[in-house]
Structure 1
Amino acid sequence: MTPRPVRVETAADGVALVTLDRPERHNAVDLETAGRLTAVWRRFRFDDDVRAIVLTGAGSAAFCTGIDRSADVPQPSSPYSADDPLLRIGPKANDLWKPVVAAVEGMACGGAFYLLGECEFLVASEEATFFDPHTAYGMVSAYESVFMAQRMPYGEAARLALMGTAERLGARRAHETGLVSELAPPGGAVAAALRAAAVLAAQPTEAVQGTVRALWASKEAVRAQALAHAPQLIALGNLPPERQAGLFASRARDFRVR
């Protein structure tokens, strides 16, 4: 039996642990994984036994490295339409208002920000790093930049997006900027996130979900306006796929952790 790319475990305390389970691909998201994530969030809407969720990636190398570059994403022929399979992988995109805590070990980059942008807060291992490779590969960081600009000071979000693969944001600096709410020892991010989620699950669920919805309301209008520009910016600024592939193949392996 082929293992599922998203693993779900539930506990008696009302907390579910959702794990991206493709460690051999650094938990990159292919079309099957995207569909599984959507299905998981939609299912949780009807599961009253699940009151809080922890989202993580399998293994210690990566939380998630975004879209799997081997994924074949069909696109409509119209220049006015573009399909992005990552737009539906987050809990808020699927009308789920139960709190979600991210537990980050290793790398979180690029399309991983679609997920991190829809979590309530982040817990990260001291060895975690964050970066956005888009510009280095001739691609516009549009959706990812919007998600991070709502979680970080502008200058930090801009540096993260514009430095590409040359620099990674270390967990301690991410904690200083507010992107990460708690640092854990190596290998300890999930345990720390589960402890926080257990507190959330123990509180009256109506009050918790109402608070999540209120917090989201404080930024969703601005976010929607910003995201509306993303397809045009990507269409105008992205290099042709063959040039992107060339830049990816010749990418430098050296980077600085800040």
Structure 2
Amino acid sequence: MFKAEPFVTRVAFAASDRPEAQDALKDLTARYGQVPEDQAQVIVALGGDGFMLETLHRNMGAPKPIYGMNRGSVGFLMNEYSADDLLDRINAAERAVIHPLSMVAVDIRRRQHRALAINEVSLLRQTRQTAKLRISVDGKVRLNELSCDGALVATPAGSTAYNLSAHGPIIPLDAKVLALTPISAFRPRRWRGALLGHEARVTFEILEADKRPVSAVADNYEVRDVLEVHVAENRDISLVMLFDAGRSLEERVLAEQFSS
């Protein structure tokens, strides 16, 4: 962890469409002013975790530090909301640097779809039929057939999201590890997933794709009727989130492992 660059004075505010986020936007811009995002040193995102992900995706091409404040329903990636002393909080904040996953999905028409995921890339069955997946890591088949509702690859930052709900492991940010987690595995029933090095390249092949259609989702970007999906960490992109001193993302991930 290292400190945010000092003397931040130019801030751009972005808010979700929730009434409490819009009210906060009016209050904060009246207090601190507003500059365009391309002129800002820091972007302040007002909303929940979904809006934080939306803001990160929107700034993927020219990433700037993003400081979130919770004005939504879920706020794991957000700081507590307060309109007071905002610039002091930002200047004292700690940085969390994360790298997204790159997804390349090939559909049944052999078209390629590319997307980035900050939390996870997930494969999900589209109908009542169980999905059947073949999973390879770095070109070697590791699981010839997994019957399941789906499977996902999660980043450390995303390990406390859908991955945790699917009973996957919580991963410290600095672990250089990705989680490969099944979703409601039917056969092999006892397979609980795997931890992979962050340089691993994962390939999912959809078996019986016509009978058992599967969709692939990179955060909120969905591709339906896929034949195969390739997932790897993209180290060329670094995204920065700011957290109040003593409330770093690493601390939150660690604390989550001891929560009841």
- If the length of structure 1 is used for normalisation, what is the TM-score? 0.25
Higher gyration radius (CA) = 2
Higher strand proportion, which one?
Answer: 2
Higher helix share: 1
Instruction: Give the TM-score taking structure 2 as reference length.
Output: 0.25
